[in-house]
Amino acid sequence: MSSNDTSATDRGAQPSAAPRVTSRDVARAAGVSQAAVSLVLGEKWRGRVSPAKAESVRAAALELGYRPNLAARSLRMGRTRTALLVVPALTTEFFALVHSGASRAAADRGFGVVLYPSPEGIGPAPDPFGSARATLDGVIASSMAVDALAALRGTGLPLVMLDNDPQDDRAAATVNLDIADGIRQVADHLLALGHRRIGHLAADIDSWTFALRARTLDRAIGGIPGAELRRVPAALGVTAGLNAAHTALTGPGPRPTALVCDDDIVAAGACKAVRRLGLRVPEDVSVTGFDDLALAVAVEPELTTVRLPAEDFGAAGMRALMTALDGRPAPARTLPVELVTRGSTGPAPA
């Protein structure tokens, strides 16, 4: 063979790429129309395509390795495939986990997530892009103060609220954690330990979730003979928790034997206040938190707190938004929570 007879591959040419699998290929393999393929892969098939055909489409797409052309699909549907997640703060572990769960659920549908803080959840949270409607498909907002989202509500975009009043009809859907049950579990735990003088270090934020905690604790303690509840407002921080706990423990009247804190960070400050007063946790004062952050096992003694499924919470919110974008009603959801008992709570002192 002469030097001129070298093959294209020998000359450095790359082998031709495999042809791209199209929706027509999937339709042919599944024995359905292209329209049916679009409905199934766009999650709009219910009531329009039989479950058996929908399963055939999914199986064919998986076997053929079909990947939808998201750019073309977005143009056809007038969508940006982008959702906005508004949270009170970027530095809190809980909201980082909410973002992680929301991003995972969004990726399953080929969506991206933009994270946007509204400081302390107090707001206001202005339209972050000047024209949210042009750059976003929908908004998820977690644990926001009353009316913090007035500007974003005015965009007309689908809005899913997390940790918000389920009766708020301005949202396309609400997804909540069972905050009331978490507080009831805390109250039942402390009452069973014999505590009757309880201090509540209440988050000083005008939001539905913190108002619900206060109301629920009032009901749980108020019906117990001889029980007394003392409430002190606190910003969400260690120093604020320390100061609020000092106020609760040194105020007039008998000293509380337990402190219920709206947040683990506040509870960490409360534990410092107890020690600075020459008292012990839990022998003299029991302390509880809320969230079950990594901090809860970093303090000594480790913190009794309410564990919240933050990642599942974010994922559920994103799935509710996807349902709303598909034009279907998204029912309200409430996720269960769990009290985790550790060394910061013990029997009430004699």
The structure tokens listed for 213 are 């905690």
Q: Establish if 94 belongs to a structural domain.
A: yes
* Three-state SS annotation for 234-274: ECCCHHHHHHHHHHHHHCCCCCCCEEEECCHHHHHHHHHHH
d(CA 281, CA 258): 9
Report pLDDT for 337. Answer: 98
Query: How many residues does this entry show for the chain?
Result: 350
Q: Establish if 2 belongs to a structural domain.
A: no
In this structure, the answer to whether residues 291 and 199 fall within a common structural domain is yes
Choose among 240, 243, 287, 293: nearest CA to 264.
293
In this structure, the answer to whether residues 184 and 294 fall within a common structural domain is yes
Q: What is the full DSSP assignment across 64-97?
A: HT----HHHHHHHHT---EEEEEES-SS-HHHHH
Q: Establish if 286 belongs to a structural domain.
A: yes
Report pLDDT for 339. Answer: 98
In this structure, the answer to whether residues 215 and 265 fall within a common structural domain is yes
In this structure, the answer to whether residues 315 and 169 fall within a common structural domain is yes
Exposure string of 121-159, with b = 16+ CB inside 10 Å and e = fewer, is bbbebebbeeebeeebbbbbbbbbbbebbeebeebebbb
In this structure, the answer to whether residues 167 and 190 fall within a common structural domain is no
Residues 6+ apart with CB under 8 A from 22: 66
Q: Are 249 and 340 in contact (CB under 8 A)?
A: no
Q: Establish if 350 belongs to a structural domain.
A: no
Residues 6+ apart with CB under 8 A from 108: none
> Furthest-apart CA pair in the chain: how many Å?
105
Q: Establish if 342 belongs to a structural domain.
A: no
Beta strands 138-142 and 286-288 are unpaired
In this structure, the answer to whether residues 33 and 91 fall within a common structural domain is no
Beta strands 305-307 and 338-340 are antiparallel
- pTM of full prediction above 0.85: no
CATH (domain of 246): 3.40.50.2300
What is the 8-class DSSP label of residue 27?
Answer: H
CATH (domain of 48): 1.10.260.40
Q: Establish if 344 belongs to a structural domain.
A: no
d(CA 189, CA 191): 6
Q: Establish if 5 belongs to a structural domain.
A: no
Report the number of distinct structural domains present in the chain: 3
Report pLDDT for 35. Answer: 85
In this structure, the answer to whether residues 215 and 321 fall within a common structural domain is no
- As a whole number of Å, the end-to-end CA separation of the chain is 102
- Which domain range does residue 304 map to? 179-308
In this structure, the answer to whether residues 167 and 316 fall within a common structural domain is yes
Q: Give the H or E element holding residue 340.
A: strand 338-340
Reading the chain (350 residues) residue by residue, the pLDDT tens digits are: 444 444 444 444 444 455 677 888 888 999 998 888 888 877 677 788 898 888 898 888 888 877 665 444 443 444 678 898 988 877 788 999 999 999 999 998 888 898 887 754 555 555 555 555 557 888 898 887 656 666 666 667 888 999 988 887 778 899 999 999 999 999 999 999 999 999 999 999 888 899 999 999 999 998 899 999 999 999 989 999 999 999 999 999 999 999 999 999 999 999 999 999 999 999 999 999 999 999 999 999 999 999 999 999 999 999 999 999 888 888 889 999 999 999 999 999 98
Q: Give the H or E element holding residue 152.
A: helix 150-153
Q: Establish if 107 belongs to a structural domain.
A: yes
In this structure, the answer to whether residues 190 and 271 fall within a common structural domain is yes
